[in-house]
Amino acid sequence: MIVGLAVLLVAGGAGGYLLWQDRQDPPLCVAAEAGRDELLHRPYEGGGSRAVLVIGDSYTQGTGVGGPDLAWSAQLAGLADATVTVDGMSSTGYTTAGFCSGEPFAYGDRLVEHDLGDDTTLVVQGSVNDGLAGEPDEVRSSADALLDEAEGAARVVVVGPPTIPALDPAVLDTIEQGLAAAAQAHDAVYVSLLGQDIPISDDRIHPTADGQARIALLVADALR
């Protein structure tokens, strides 16, 4: 189960990620890909006609809170009266394929697999993984490239990373500034999670259940 495997590696904070940062880990990659595929084939129905596609990381997989049905992205369906399709893959970000290093699973690689109609709202969430295992200084350019591909969407919302103990505040600020600048350049809505008091679990990376609920409310507000 991907949640358990992910927690096993990240429990030590940033040091846990260093165990796989420089090499691909096939068993974890297979589990992460399976978790992604399972979510893609069961959208969350919240009523209403709005269609939302979420691109995200382990936060959308509900790591540490009991699975994807308890994640912020699942809660968003009811809050936004929308059908939410989740393309969530643990360990990934704008600049990293995480457990599947070298494979096409970074955010931009996955986005191009989707047909964005003019009735679809795109929400891109994260990622702390760009600081833990990716390239924070390249987040801006990677986000620009992704948002170029999203021009056909009805609306685009970019959700930044929350404050987490496992990352230096300066690294989080680099990611935040890159995402905010890219969102502004592409007329996308930016939702900052820094300073929003998102509770983080003992693994120092993932939101608690209350943190997940807080993220869902912030994103839902941005969709109104």
SS3 of 46-79: the string is CCCCEEEEEEECCCCCCCCCCCHHHCHHHHHHHH
CB 139 within 8 A of CB 183: no
Q: In this structure, what DSSP letter does residue 87 have? A: E
Picking from 220, 221, 213, 212, the residue whose alpha carbon sits closest to that of residue 57 is 212
Domain ranges (residues) in the chain:
2-223
Going 24 to 129 to 164 to 74, the CA torsion angle's sign is negative
Written out in words, the top-level CATH class of the domain with range 2-223 is alpha beta
Q: For residues 120 and 128, give the distance between their C-alpha atoms in angstroms, rounded to a whole number.
A: 25
Residue 122 confidence (pLDDT): 98
Residue 117 confidence (pLDDT): 87
Digits of tens for pLDDT over the chain (224 positions)?
333 333 333 333 333 344 334 445 679 999 999 999 999 999 999 988 899 999 999 999 999 999 999 999 999 999 999 999 999 999 999 999 999 999 999 999 999 999 998 999 999 999 999 999 999 999 999 999 999 999 999 999 999 999 999 999 999 999 999 999 999 999 999 999 999 999 999 999 999 999 999 999 999 999 99
CB 114 within 8 A of CB 87: yes
Residue 7 confidence (pLDDT): 35
Q: For residues 61 and 6, give the distance between their C-alpha atoms in angstroms, rounded to a whole number.
A: 10
Give the tokens for residue 57: 């990381």
Residue 39 amino acid letter:
L
Residue 106 confidence (pLDDT): 98
Q: For residues 216 and 222, give the distance between their C-alpha atoms in angstroms, rounded to a whole number.
A: 10
